[in-house]
Chain A
Amino acid sequence: MTEEHHEELGWWRKYIFSLDHKVIGLQYGLTALSFLLLGFMLMILMRWQLAYPGEVIPWLTFVLIFIFIGFTIIYLAGKNRPYLALNSFIFFGIAGLIWYFTTGEERLPGGIMLPEFYNQLGAMHGTIMVFLGVVPLAVGAFGNYILPLQIGAPDMAFPRLNMASYWVYFIGGVLMIISFFLPGGAAQSGWTSYSPLADINTGQTMWLIAMLFLIMSSLLGAINFIVTTVQLRAEGMTWFRLPFFVWTQLITAFLLLLAFPSLQIGAIMQLLDRIAGASFFIPAGIIQGGKVLEYAGGGNPLLWQHLFWFLAHPEVYVLILPAIGIITEVITNNSRKPLWGYPAMVYSLFIVGFLSFVVYAHHMFITGMGTAVATWFQTTTMIISIPSVVFLAVLVFTLWGGSIRFTTPMLFALAWIPMFGIGGLTGLPLGLAPPDIHLHDTYYVIGHFHYIVAPGSIIAFFAGLYYWFPKICGHKLNDTLGKIHFWGTLIGMNLVFAPMLVQGMAGMSRRLYDGGMEYDHVQPVMFLNEWMTWGSWMIGIFQIFFILNMVLTLRKKSPTEDNPWEATTLEWATSSPPLAHGNFETEPVVYRPPYEYNVPVNGHIEPYLPQHKKVEMRD
């Protein structure tokens, strides 16, 4: 990779339709963060309605949110990173339009929310967070940027396909947003889109079309990740020398590749029910508004649930496995010890990956599936908790006896362990049919899976962002601001999600537009609605410190050092930020496993031994 090979790329090729995995990773990252913000805003609207049903929404809160999107723009416009600026401008515009639009008479007449709009917010919050926020951030952003660097590859195996998957994802996202502006508004049948409701409810058609784009994007991405990992490992990078993050991305890619097609078929079938009058999911004699609908009937609504959950359960692991990979990198690096049980982690990952395909019907215990089938899914669900505990145990044993550095990414990683623990343990009662029948469709379920994806996945992504930020930009993020952000986010998240578990056990149903005020049995826990809403504001306010931190750090001039965390894996073997062409000066050669911290070499203890460093052994 000498200088004369650097052909000058045009502006479009360099910043918009780039083939460089690092640029695509950043594009994914920024788009996904914008969508996370959008999903968060929808949630803020919902939480206002739950805490103060029927009261006028104070728009000042949302003005504040836009101010902090503004922060991003101020920075981006001033720096030489137009591809980031373009994305953020697009999403600033879109978010602004939504703000304008939500003041409309069909949604918020006089600032008071209509039930239909609440349903739209619920469905779109889930969809945006899962398919447009967390997955693209976990796989598209972290995977794209870090994975090729960690295996010592010059780029992804198929750069054009990589670009295509980003842009297909982008189109899917834009369509999803456009659906808010269509007559009837966005989808309002929940992110699970159960039939036959979703077959006849408004807003679902665009949701399905957008989903088909998102599915296509994930499939293309998954192929690329698997081929890259298998084919482009540097010399000496054997399977058991792969950093654990790469393993998680590999298994995640297999889950996406094999699980998503079933939702693809489901989405096509539901779309045909809606636009071609088929009755795949519609039984005969469906009545809407007092009239029998003109469908041939004979369809099976449960078929949709099977097709949906066959994807959506592996999808849950798609949300959490990359997070576990990030946490493993951060904890090992900051414990200054080799990962305690690397092979156990890898084998557990295989088991989780396989089992995630055979547990899905535990989402469907109340469909009357019969005890024999329920027993199978309860058993597999209990078994899959074992490898999940192995992950936690290995991470704790890695901390044991380490020289722990309490850096900001490490704080996030340490907090992740109990948070994921709570998320996992609260899942056990839901995996067994008898307690699930009580808890199904209550706030307990919401609390459980939010503990997995918010203080679970999102906390892990913050750990990853703080950890790899110096890789991307050459500067560590500010520690003080980082710690303020950490504590605020952690406490805010618990304030939101812990009360959900309490409310759920008291029997409060999910998807209630007025927060359940009509039901006597939930009155004792109604006061928690207000606490949770305050918690959600707290999360929002403390994100300002994170954005401010990024803005200030990115404004710093010349990069400082290439390996500020004294890490051993290959992404630190090149400059920070890495070379635009081919990542590495010379192709790296790998000599040892990934986490050689404080290991004895030639009679003394080496603080850290990078994978690519050649050491002559004496004796």
Chain B
Amino acid sequence: MEIPFTINERPDTGLTNPKFGIWLFLASEVMLFGSLFTSYIILRIGSPVPPHILAWPIQSQELNVLIGAINTAILIASSVTMILSWVALKEKQFKKFKLYMGLTIVLAVLFLVVKIWLEYLPKIQHGHVMSTNNFFAMYYLMTGLHALHIIGGIVVLAYFWGPGAKMWESNPEQFTNRIEVAGLYWHFVDLVWIFLFPTLYLL
């Protein structure tokens, strides 16, 4: 039994099922991160003014802006290679797809390495953990949830790069659609970071 419009678009809606599904998923993700940013704002504006022990710290002094900026660049670059891998499939150049998809995964892993080894670990060693204050609690929660999304993305992308790529032989059109859908998710995760970086490091 075939489910209609899995590969081809439904004429009156102009969408395939997976593409519509991922957009709905992203809508729910917007609410997820929206609630998180709202909580951040509420906790921050509710904190007392500086001499007070519970005052919100000056964020750019607590976090390493340079490392954050480098990570931002890494993620944006991975978004570019993600798009290029999809374009490569559209142009029927499978090898180029493998290259760009591989690069995307490498950049994503690099992001995590920088995040964990250059940011989380040194901070934990300095005793800055979630119980320190609400700024660090919020920092770990927001970046941690984002990192979980990155890990999820790496799993999916690695599947399409490795075993999932066999589908290119049997059903190239569906495979291309899958990469497009995965790409939508990936760009969203990047977009979240683009909001997270200024909120947590610069403001």
Chain A residues at the B interface, C-beta cutoff of 8 Å: 1, 5, 154-155, 157-159, 161, 219, 222-224, 226-227, 230-232, 257-262, 264-266, 268-269, 272, 276-280, 284, 295-300, 303, 306-307, 310, 581-582
Contacts and interface: CB of A to CB of B under 8 A. Distances in A.
Given A157-B21, A280-B43, A296 B134 contact: yes
24 contacts: A1-B1, A154-B2, A154-B3, A155-B1, A222-B24, A223-B21, A257-B31, A261-B31, A261-B32, A261-B35, A262-B31, A268-B145, A276-B131, A276-B137, A278-B137, A278-B141, A279-B137, A280-B138, A296-B54, A296-B133, A298-B47, A298-B48, A303-B39, A306-B42
B25 interface: yes
B43 A310 contact: no
A280 B39 contact: yes
Chain B contact residues (Cβ within 8 angstroms of A): what range? Answer: 35 or more
Contact of A262 (B35, B48, B129, B141): B35
Interface stretch (B12-20, B71-79, B86-94, B159-167): B12-20
A259 B129 CA distance: 30
A297 B54 contact: yes
B106 interface: no
Interface string B42-55: 11001110000010
B17 A158 contact: yes
A577 to B, nearest CB: 16
A227 B21 contact: yes
B133 A230 contact: no
Contacts of A230: 13, 15, 20
B43 A300 contact: yes
Contacts of A276: 129-131, 137, 140
B130 A231 contact: no
A159 B4 CA distance: 12
B134 A303 contact: no
B28 interface: yes
B184 interface: no
Given A157-B17, A284-B54, A296-B54, A278 B131 contact: yes
Nearest to A296: B133
Given A232-B5, A261-B32, A277-B129, 18 more contacts: A1-B1, A158-B3, A222-B24, A223-B21, A224-B21, A227-B17, A227-B21, A230-B20, A231-B5, A231-B10, A261-B34, A265-B35, A269-B141, A280-B39, A280-B43, A280-B138, A296-B54, A298-B48
B188 to A, nearest CB: 14
Closest 7 CB pairs of A and B: A277-B131, A261-B32, A278-B137, A261-B31, A298-B54, A265-B35, A262-B35
Contacts of B31: 257-259, 261-262
Contacts of A296: 54, 131-134
Contact of A223 (B4, B24, B54, B130): B24
Nearest to B6: A157
Contacts of A272: 130, 137, 141
Contacts of A158: 3, 17, 21
Contact of A278 (B1, B32, B47, B134): B134
Given A266-B35, A296-B131, A231 B24 contact: no
B5 A279 contact: no
A277 B133 CA distance: 10
A277 B134 CA distance: 10
Nearest to B2: A154
Contacts of B4: 154, 231-232
Contact of A268 (B2, B21, B54, B141): B141
Given A265-B32, A300-B43, A303-B43, A258 B20 contact: no
B131 A279 contact: yes
A5 B1 CA distance: 8
A298 B10 CA distance: 52
A207 to B, nearest CB: 19
Most chain B CB within 10 A, of A161, A227, A269, is at A227
B91 to A, nearest CB: 28
Contact of B3 (A157, A264, A303, A306): A157
A223 B25 CA distance: 7
Contacts of B132: 296
B167 to A, nearest CB: 15
Nearest to B36: A265
Contacts of B29: 261
Nearest to A583: B1
Given A227-B21, A303-B43, A310-B35, A278 B28 contact: no
B27 interface: yes
A227 B24 contact: yes
Contacts of B130: 272, 276-278
Contacts of A278: 130-131, 134, 137, 141
B46 A300 contact: yes
B109 to A, nearest CB: 25
A158 to B, nearest CB: 6
A231 B9 CA distance: 9
